Structure 1
Amino acid sequence: MLNLILFGPPGAGKGTQSEKIIARYNLIHLSTGDLLRSEIQAGTELGLQAKTLMDNGILVPDEVVIGMIDNKLKEHSNAPGFIFDGFPRTVNQAEALDELLTRYNESISVMIALVVDDNELLARLLNRGKTSGRPDDQNVELISRRIQEYNNKTKPVADYYLEQGKFTAIDGIGEIDHIFNQITQAISKAGLL
């Protein structure tokens, strides 16, 4: 089973590349944002718990998110693998994900990080903001804060997987198909397919 984490700062191209990866390898896309919305919409116990917290401006705890991921793993037990998007964001979440996957005799196969310098990220997000309608893609100060937040809090997750020998950095600047080719080579090189 191929269990891949696609990693990178906002604007690195994760959405574009994850679509291509899903199409190529037939993976199930696990986006924590999508999971939260679907569990809330389905009215599940975890969804109701998450909604209550979110309605009160409280971050959904890791245990709830891990529970939602567990539900998806059970629901798609015959899938060829999963692509994790937006999770894990902290080392604690990475450890919890490893623990969960171990219960299924699985593990993260590879973490692929799209590396893009901060100036390019800023330009991409401002450009995306022209069509996305997202206010956080239109404000230089907010974009800079999001990039800084990524660098401070999320980047240590890369070190966690590097220590396990599962981390691969890919230059996220260039033609979309060239970047995708590098990703498929990294998956092949890891002996996954």
Structure 2
Amino acid sequence: MALNLILMGLPGAGKGTQAQYIVDEYHIPHISTGDMFREAMANETEMGLKAKEFIDKGDLVPDDVTVGIVKERLSQPDTEPGFLLDGFPRTLAQADALAEMTDVLNKPLSAVINIDVDPKVLTDRLTGRFICKTCGATYHKLYHMPKVPGTCDVCGGHEFYQRDDDKPEAVKNRLDVNIKMNTPLVSYYDERNLLHTVNGDQEIDAVWQDVDAILRSL
């Protein structure tokens, strides 16, 4: 049976890692929105060319074009054993369009995996990164501190900085935007009995054990 999945979770929840595990174990393509756009534009598909017009102007790609690109991608033969969608759908309109599309393609969704982590924990994860000003080595206040406090392991420098998008106010804003976007989708898939929520605030391997158990039960 084909394994047709959506992977959901807030920034920092560990989606990328779990996506890689799923792809390695179940041999289905990981389809992220960014990759899809790049591929469609590189291949100059009809929808890819349309998307390029908007992207070149710095505009958001409208839903009908995004949906068209997803449909083109899900029609490709490598999705026969299944697929893992990441970054789509983002809105209820896109979720409805996906339901229609999977119906037409006869590739119904098997499950929606939502990796759930407390936003406070995510804030700590996402704001913890800091970088050596001299050599660019990356550290994290929770997971990877320099061996000698205040001294870079690589070059011995003593000056560190934080990227703007890792600063608390930027992280809070990014999480707020994503919570607002994800909450209706979580309800949407819950109502359709497709939602499986996994506690993402565990060791990576424990999260994977939970995800794998869900996939094996389908």
User: Same fold per TM (> 0.5)?
Assistant: yes
Runs of 4 or more off by more than 6 Å in structure 1?
Answer: none
The equivalent residue for 1:145 is: 173
**Residues 4-41 of structure 1 deviation map (CA, whole Å, 9 limit, x = unaligned):** 11101111000010000011111111101111112122
- Give the equivalent residue in structure 1 for 2:101: 100
Aligned partners of 2:164, 2:174: CA distance in 1, in Å?
Answer: 9
Q: Which amino acid aligns with 1:64?
A: V
Instruction: Name the structure 2 match of 1:158.
Output: 186
> What TM-score results when the alignment is normalised by the length of structure 1?
0.90
RCO higher in 1 or 2 (8 Å CA, sep ≥ 6)?
1
Match for residue 121 of structure 1?
A: 122
Alignment correspondent of 1:111: 112
Shift of 1:45: 2.5
Aligned equivalent of 1:171 = 199
TM-score if structure 2 supplies the norm length? 0.80
Q: Is the 8 A contact 2:29 2:79 kept in 1?
A: no
Could you say if the C-alpha distance between residues 119 and 149 of structure 1 is closer, same or farther in structure 2, counting changes exceeding 3 Å?
A: same
Aligned residues: 189
Whether the 8 Å contact between 1:136 and 1:143 is mirrored in structure 2 is no
| Structure 2: gaps spanning 5 or more residues | 132-137, 140-161
SS state at 1:63 partner: helix
Task: Tell me which structure has the larger Cα radius of gyration.
Answer: 2
> What percentage of residue pairs aligned between the two structures are identical?
39
Aligned-residue offset at 1:187: 1.8
Q: Which runs of 5+ in 1 are unaligned?
A: none
RMSD: 2.0
If each structure's helix is expressed as a fraction of its own residues, which one has the higher value? 1
